[in-house]
Each structure stands twice: as C-alpha cells, then as structure tokens.
C-alpha cells in the first residue's frame, strides 16, 4: 500500500547508495558537521552544548546532524547583529537594496541543485519538488527586489497651501519563524518582503529542518548585504519564545500550526508587535459534475499529495457531485496508485518520505481512526466518507492530518456543498472545478477562504497574495500587499501659514 511503502522508505537501512550516478550526494550519505547558527556574517556553534538534539534524514531515519539550540545570549547576539545591519540597510535606497537582492537571486539560481539536494536530505520531499521550491524562493526575492524601488508615500493637499505627506518606513528587526514543510522557501517568502522594505531579520527554522535557511543567509551576505541582514538562530519553542519576547524585535512572521500561532500572537501582544500568521487548514475542493474530469482529478492530486501531503493549503476535503463520484473515484485511485514513491533524490520519484517517524505514525493513526468511524478506505491515502455520517463529524474530515490522505465526500447541490465546505474553523484555501463560469465565481464568492482556486489547485505564484481567513491566519505573504505587513506609515503635517491657536 502507499503508506506502507512510505513507511518502508522511512525505515530503509542507512547508506544505501540509491541516487543517480550524476548526483553529488545520495540518500544516507550526508553528514552535516558545520554549525547551523549564523549571525554577524559567521556560522556559530551554540554555547549551550548540552542541549544538542539529533536531526534525522527523513528518507533513511539516519542522524543527519545535531541541532544546537540558541539560548538568551545567542538570541541577543543575533538580534544585535540585525539591529546593526538595519542601521545601514534602512538608509539605502530601494534601488540599492534591489541590486543586492537580485544578486542573491542569481546566486540561488547558480546553486539551485545544491540547495535542492540539501532540502531533500533534510525534508524528505522529492528532488523535483525541491527544485521548484528553490525556484519559488528565487522568484520571490526577484519579485520583491522589483518592488523595493516602488515603495512610496502620498502627498495630500491641505487648506492654505499646507500639506501632508506619508512615508513608508521599515519596522526594524523582524523575526521569521518557519515550519518544516518548506524550509528554504519559507525563509525566502519571509525575508524577501522584509528586506525589500528596509528591515533586517532573525529567522528561526523548525528544529526538524535546520539545514537550508543558513544557506540563504550566506547567499544574501555573498550578494553584498550588510553583515547581520539575515541571521539564523536554531532551536525550538524556547528559542522561538525568546525571539517573540525580545524588546528589540519589531514584528513576528510565523508559519506553522494553529496552536503555536495562538501562542505567538499572545507573546507578540505583550510588546504590541504586529504578526503575520500563516497557519493550518482543512480546505475544501468542490468538484461539480460539469467539470473537465481529467483536470479535476489532476487538481485533486495537486491538492493532496505535494510534499507528501504536508502542505498547509491542501484541499483535503474533496467534495464530488454525486453523479460523477464513481468515475472520479476510479480515476483518482488509478492515478494515485501510479505515483512513484521512493528515494527522494531519484529523478523518477514523485513522492518521498514523511518528515519523521512520529509524524508518519500520527498520519497512519488518522487512517485507522477513519476506518473505525466508518470510512471506506480505497487506498490507505484515499478515504471515502460514508454519506450518512460524513457531515463534518469524522475526524479525518475535521482535523488537519498533514499527510498524503485525501478524504472524498459526495454532495448533491451547490447550496449544500457550500454550507459543508464552510463548516470549519479554518479558511486557508478552497477550490472549485466547473465549466460553468457563473457558478465558479458565485461559489468562490461564498467560500470563506483566503486563497481560492478555480479549475486548479495549490499553485502559489509569488505575485499574488497568499494567506488565510478565520483561524488559518492573519496577514498575507507574497504579492504587493505584503509590503504593508513589513512597513509602517509615517504621516508628516506641514504648516505653510500661521498656527490657528485656540488659546
Ligand atoms: N501551516 C503549515 O504550513 C504547517 C502546519 N503544521 C502543522 O503543525 C503540526 C506540528 O508541526 P510543528 O512543526 O510542531 O509545528 P509548530 O507550529 O509547533 O512549529 C512551527 C514553528 O514554530 C516554532 N515554535 C513552536 N512552539 C513555539 C513557541 N511556543 N514559541 C515560538 N516558536 C515556537 C517551532 O520551533 C517551529 O519553528 C503538523 O503536524 C501540522 O499539522 C506544521 C508545519 C507547517
Ligand atoms: N508552497 C506553498 C507553501 C504553503 C505552506 O507553507 O505549506
């Protein structure tokens, strides 16, 4: 079965040289010994040596490196470095910042393969997907480099020749806290808009995937950024909490789970710091009977199986109109069986390993629970919800599984499916497949989700805003609007006459 094969991938004995001969590295062969903390232009080992933790390679279960979590001293040093860089960077023109960011994008392009390989070794996703993640990171930096020189305020005329103007100013030292599902891409999606606006950043990757964010920090430095512009501190909750509470931190941008997002918001509230929260989802995908079935099936696969299903925006509740359910199920099962699962460094692999053993077990337990609750298990990764009790009562339909598990539900009317689709506390994404253009826009208008797709799913071009409604988050990443989340407006009143004094 698909999940058993995934489990086997995860448990494969160490050091089996499975990768293509042309590749520089192979699964099970990499040991990372260089320090992974980075600030003030250098890699650092942590002073808290006793807290070292193992970091595993998902594809083999082998120890890849050791995480050295940063304590208060290191966090202070990193924030200090970012403050110093902010002094220089914020005074540069947008054009000057853009030049350095474009150079960073060129370096990423030239090191695409190396970065992608390290992402695979640390995260377990296929090399094909990892390359696309590196491209997305590069494109995001290019995009915000383009916007850097367009940042401007407004001139407002007031009576008597007086006027006011607004300045769009950076916030200061921003903190980025990342998840393990898109380690390099998340570091870029957070740092690119922050830096374009003139901020500096301290980034904390997930302790599960500490390897590639530091590569991005070094790339900015190599491109000519001032020392300390992007700093990386490793660690988990404690390090994250030190960053959120730090008095010199102006903003926190977080990607991860809803429970942690709430904690981040609470911590940031102590210092009245703005937050961007990119949290989880339980997104619906609506497939109407007039859809192009082949594209709908492709969309459902894209909505569920990228990054081994470990994607926040996944459309895991696939609602299919009753008349086409048998056809849809047959085709989606056929296409799913054909997914090439294996060593993520192989070109032929389309699905690699889940991020670690505990996560795999958690995903499998959702499948077991679904069976107990009456779902028909078509493949371990496709659950067909029984039409009587599927009205958002089954655990697999309510909770974020964050694995390659698609729940298929049937519906009869547009009104009914909209009610069921919106019956969730989350609202990150949603999708609709239909050939009826009127229906498509009508449905999208009623879907309570921040990112809606018509006749596609899970594409994230960096030019468009991405983010959630309801408990899926606050703020947006990507697109022009994100500039507003990494800058603040200063209004300047200019009096050209006498002060009209009331006293
Ligand atoms: N929305 C998304 O993209 C993601 C959702 N998830 C969901 O979350 C579940 C758990 O995954 P985790 O990586 O443990 O997510 P998490 O939300 O606990 O961790 C995400 C990041 O926050 C940091 N963090 C954790 N507690 C913190 C605290 N108190 N203060 C500051 N930073 C803190 C972590 O070290 C990590 O860098 C997954 O199984 C999945 O359901 C996980 C990753 C991404
Ligand atoms: N490439 C999409 C990223 C979505 C996520 O953070 O899960």
Distance 306 CA to ligand 2 centre (A): 10
pLDDT the model gives residue 16: 34
Distance 278 CA to ligand 2 centre (A): 9
Work out whether the CA dihedral 213, 219, 222, 225 comes out positive or negative: negative
Distance 312 CA to ligand 2 centre (A): 6
Grouping H, G, I as helix, E, B as strand and the rest as coil, residue 330 is helix
pLDDT along the chain (503 residues), means of 10: 48 37 77 96 82 93 96 97 98 98 98 98 98 98 98 97 98 98 98 99 98 98 98 98 98 98 98 98 98 98 98 98 96 97 97 97 95 89 72 84 96 97 97 98 98 98 98 98 98 97 97
Taking each helix axis as running N to C, give the angle between helix 213-222 and helix 183-196, from 0 to 180 degrees, rounded to the nearest 10: 40
What strand order describes the sheet that includes 200-204?
42-44, 37-39, 230-232, 200-204, 173-177, 249-255, 275-278, 473-474
pLDDT the model gives residue 382: 86
Active-site residue, selected from the candidate residues 74, 119, 129, 278: 278
Closest ligand 2 atom, CA of 136? 1
Grouping H, G, I as helix, E, B as strand and the rest as coil, residue 67 is strand
- Collect all residues with Cβ–Cβ distance below 8 Å to 22 and sequence separation of at least 6: none
- Top mutation candidate among 136, 182, 279, 473 for ligand 2, by most atoms within 8 Å of CB: 182
Grouping H, G, I as helix, E, B as strand and the rest as coil, residue 80 is helix
Compute the half-sphere exposure of residue 363: CA atoms within 13 Å on the CB side of its CA.
24
pLDDT the model gives residue 390: 57
pLDDT one-digit tens code per residue, 162-194: 999 999 999 999 999 999 999 999 999 999 999
ipTM of the complex: 0.94
463 is catalytic: no
Residue 436, token pair as written in the block: 């009826």
pLDDT one-digit tens code per residue, 76-122: 999 999 999 999 999 999 999 999 999 999 999 999 999 999 999 99
pLDDT the model gives residue 380: 79
- Return the H-helix or E-strand segment holding 121: helix 112-123
- Return the H-helix or E-strand segment holding 494: strand 487-494
């Amino acid at each position: 079965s698909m999940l058993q094969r995934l489990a086997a991938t995860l448990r494969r004995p160490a050091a089996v040289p499975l990768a293509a001969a042309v590749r520089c590295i192979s699964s099970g062969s990499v040991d990372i010994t260089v320090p992974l903390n980075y600030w003030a232009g250098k890699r650092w080992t942590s002073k808290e040596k006793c807290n070292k933790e193992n970091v595993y390679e998902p594809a083999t279960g082998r120890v890849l490196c050791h995480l050295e979590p940063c304590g208060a001293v290191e966090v202070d040093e990193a924030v200090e470095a970012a403050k110093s860089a902010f002094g220089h960077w914020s005074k540069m023109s947008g054009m000057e910042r853009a030049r350095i960011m474009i150079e960073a994008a060129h370096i990423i392009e030239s090191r695409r393969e190396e970065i992608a390989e390290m992402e695979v070794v640390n995260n377990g996703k296929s090399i094909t997907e990892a390359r696309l993640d590196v491209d997305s990171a590069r494109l995001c930096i290019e995009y915000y480099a383009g916007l850097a020189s367009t940042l401007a305020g407004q001139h407002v005329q007031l009576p008597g020749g007086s006027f006011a103007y607004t300045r769009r100013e950076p916030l200061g030292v921003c903190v980025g806290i990342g998840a393990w599902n898109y380690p390099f891409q998340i570091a870029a999606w957070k740092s690119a808009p922050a830096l374009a606006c003139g901020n500096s950043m301290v980034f904390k990757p997930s302790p599960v995937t500490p390897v590639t964010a530091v590569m991005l920090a070094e790339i900015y430095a190599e491109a000519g950024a001032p020392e300390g512009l992007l700093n990386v501190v490793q660690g988990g909750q404690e390090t994250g909490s030190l960053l959120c509470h730090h008095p010199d931190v102006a903003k926190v941008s977080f990607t991860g789970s809803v429970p942690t997002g709430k904690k981040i918001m609470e911590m940031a509230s102590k210092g009245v710091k703005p937050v961007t929260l990119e949290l989880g989802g339980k997104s619906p995908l609506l497939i109407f009977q007039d859809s192009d079935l082949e594209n709908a099936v492709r969309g459902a696969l894209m909505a569920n199986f990228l990054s081994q299903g470990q994607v926040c925006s996944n459309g895991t509740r696939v609602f299919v109109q009753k008349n086409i359910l048998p056809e849809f199920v047959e085709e989606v099962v056929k296409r799913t069986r054909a997914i090439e699962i294996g060593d993520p460094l192989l070109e032929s692999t389309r699905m690699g390993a889940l991020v670690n053993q505990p996560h795999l077990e958690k995903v499998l337990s959702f499948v077991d629970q679904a069976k107990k609750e009456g779902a028909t298990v078509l493949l371990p990764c496709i659950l067909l919800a029984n039409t009587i009790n599927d009205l958002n009562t089954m655990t697999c339909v309510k909770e974020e599984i964050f694995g390659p598990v698609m729940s298929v539900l049937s519906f009869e009317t547009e009104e009914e499916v909209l009610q069921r689709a919106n019956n969730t506390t989350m609202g990150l994404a949603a999708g609709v497949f239909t050939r009826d253009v009127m229906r498509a826009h009508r449905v999208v208008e009623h879907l309570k989700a921040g990112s809606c797709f018509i006749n596609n799913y899970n594409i994230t071009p960096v030019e468009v805003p991405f983010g959630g409604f309801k408990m899926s988050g606050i703020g947006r990443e990507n697109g022009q609007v994100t500039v507003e989340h990494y800058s603040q407006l200063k209004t300047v009143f200019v009096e050209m006459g006498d002060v009209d004094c009331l006293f």
